[in-house]
């Protein structure tokens, strides 16, 4: 089940996989990140970046607590770079 809230990448799990897990994500206020979503059943977080074109990445093994801290952080980019980037197995979902 996906939970939404208002509130150097790691190693890719599977190259070329283009399966978007989230049925919906929540837009966040960030210059780096456009939106986020979380699947508690698989402990996967999905992040859409504000790149042109926008890119979507999934991060495996992310705890609910880490996700909650991320979406509650005053700076999503700083939290992402300090606590998520390079720390979880990563799959590029789309460009």
pLDDT, tens digit only, all 95 positions of the chain: 444 333 333 334 444 444 556 556 889 999 999 999 999 999 999 999 998 888 999 999 999 999 999 999 999 999 999 999 999 999 999 86
What is this structure's pTM? 0.76
Give the number of other Cβ atoms within 10 Å of residue 66's Cβ: 18
Domain ranges of the chain: 2-94
Q: What is the DSSP string of 24-93?
A: --EE---SSEEEEEEETTTTEEEEEE--SS-EEEEEET--HHHHHHHHH-S-HHHHHHHHTTTTS-EEEE
Which residues share a beta bridge with 81? none
Q: For the chain, how many residues are written?
A: 95
Output the CA angle 54-48-62, nearest 5 degrees: 150
């Amino acid at each position: 089940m996906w939970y939404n809230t208002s509130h150097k990448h790691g190693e890719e799990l599977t190259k070329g996989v283009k399966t978007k897990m989230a049925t919906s994500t929540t837009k966040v206020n960030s210059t780096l990140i456009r939106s986020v979503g979380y699947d508690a059943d698989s402990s996967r977080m999905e992040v859409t970046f504000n790149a042109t074109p926008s890119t979507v990445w999934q991060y495996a093994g992310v705890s609910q607590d880490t996700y909650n801290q991320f979406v509650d952080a005053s700076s999503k980019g700083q939290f992402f770079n300090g606590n998520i980037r390079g720390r979880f197995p990563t799959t590029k979902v789309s460009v």
